[in-house]
Amino acid sequence: MQITAETPFKASIVPLPLSSTPSSFSILPGNAPRTPLQNTLKKAITCVGIGLHSGAQVRMTLNPAPAGHGIVFERVDLTSSAPIAARYDNVVCTRLSTVIANSGTPEIRVATIEHLMAALHANGIDNARIEIDGPETPVLDGSAAEFDFLIQCAGTQILELPRAVIEVLRPVHVEEESGAFAELRPARSGFALAMSIDFSASVIGQQRHAMPLNLERFRQEVGFCRTFVERKEIEALQKMGLARGGSLHNAIVVEGETVLNPCGLRHPKEFVRHKLMDAVGDLYLAGHTLQAGFMGHKSGHTLNNKLLRALFASAENWRFVGSEESSRTELRATA
Ligand SMILES: [Zn+2]
C-alpha cells in the first residue's frame, strides 16, 4: 500500500472536549503495563512528502524488523551510508528538530524524526527499519497523526522476545539558565508526562498538560497537535536554511493574539500538547520505553536529549525491567 501526502487522513482526527485537559499540573499515575513482548509492523508502508526544514521531497518506507533490532533509519539515497539507530547518543543536532547521524559521518543524517518516533512509541513499536531517500522525514501535516495512521494501516506484529523497559531509579534533572528544565522521576508503573510552556505570543501564553502514555490518550490528546512557529521568526529561520518546507498546511503560524491558519487551532492547548508529543518522541531515543514520570518546563529537543544523556551518565540512575541482558550490555557500553 502506498500513501502519498495528498491522501486525506483527516477522518482519523477527532476534535476534543476542553474538559479532557487535567486541571492540576501533576504527574499522573502511569497505565497498566503493555504487552511484555516486543512488537514490529505487520507489513511495510510508504509515504511521500516534504521535509519541514529542508523543503526536500522524500519517500519514506516503514519496514518490519526482528526483535532486538530497535528503530533504525537507512538513507537509501546514499549508497555508502550505514544504518543509523534512533538513539540519544546518535543525536547530532537539536535546533528546532531532533537530528541523528552516526559518529564519524555527521553529514549523513536524518532530521525531524521526533513526530514519527512519538507515533512509534505510542503504538508500542519496538522494532522498525525505516528507509528514507532524503535528509529529513516528511512533515506531513506537522503532527504525529499521519504517522500514527500509517502504523495503523501497516498493523502491529507481536514478536517472540520480551520488551525491555527502562526503569528510572532516582530523579534526573537538567535545566537551562532561562528556567527551562526537564526531569525524570521514578514511577511505580508506566510512563507519564507533564509539560508546561510560557510564550510571549499571547495566543500561546502559559499552557500545561499532563497524561499517562498509552495509545488511546496519545491519539485523543496529543498525536494530532501540530508544530508551530511565530511569524516573526520565519524569515530568520529560512535564512538559516530552516523551515523551507513550512507552510500553513504543516505548521501553526502565530502572530501576537492571532493564529494565521485559516482553519485555526485543533485544540486551544495545541501548543503545549505538541511539545508533550515531541517529548514522547524524543525520549523514545532512550532505545526503549520508560517506567518513569517526565516533567518538562519549556523543554524542547535540546533539553530532552540532555535529559537522556544525564540519565545514562550513571548506572545508578536506571535499570532494565522485563528485559534481556543483552540490551543492558549494549546500552551500558555507550553510557
Ligand atoms: Zn514537533
Mean pLDDT (whole number) for 253-276:
96
Catalytic residues: 301
Mean pLDDT (whole number) for 129-140:
96
CATH topology of domain 2-8+37-334: lpxc deacetylase, domain 1 (3.30.1700)
pLDDT > 90 fraction of the chain, expressed in percent and rounded: 77
Distance 100 CA to ligand 1 centre (A): 15
Higher pLDDT, 211 or 324: 211
Poorest-confidence range of 8-12, 137-141, 163-167?
8-12
With 50 as the cut, is the pLDDT of residue 40 above it? Answer: yes
Place 8 in a pLDDT band, splitting at 50, 70 and 90: very low
Mean pLDDT (whole number) for 266-280:
98
Quote the pLDDT of residue 53: 83
Place 221 in a pLDDT band, splitting at 50, 70 and 90: very high
Distance 302 CA to ligand 1 centre (A): 12
Place 324 in a pLDDT band, splitting at 50, 70 and 90: low
User: In this structure, which long-range contacts are made by residues 1-7, counting pairs with CB atoms below 8 Å and at least 24 apart in sequence?
Assistant: 1/43, 1/45, 1/46, 1/153, 2/46, 2/47, 2/48, 3/45, 3/46, 3/47, 3/48, 3/150, 3/153, 4/47, 4/48, 4/49, 5/47, 5/48, 5/49, 5/50, 5/138, 5/140
Distance 322 CA to ligand 1 centre (A): 30
Domain locations along the chain: 2-8+37-334
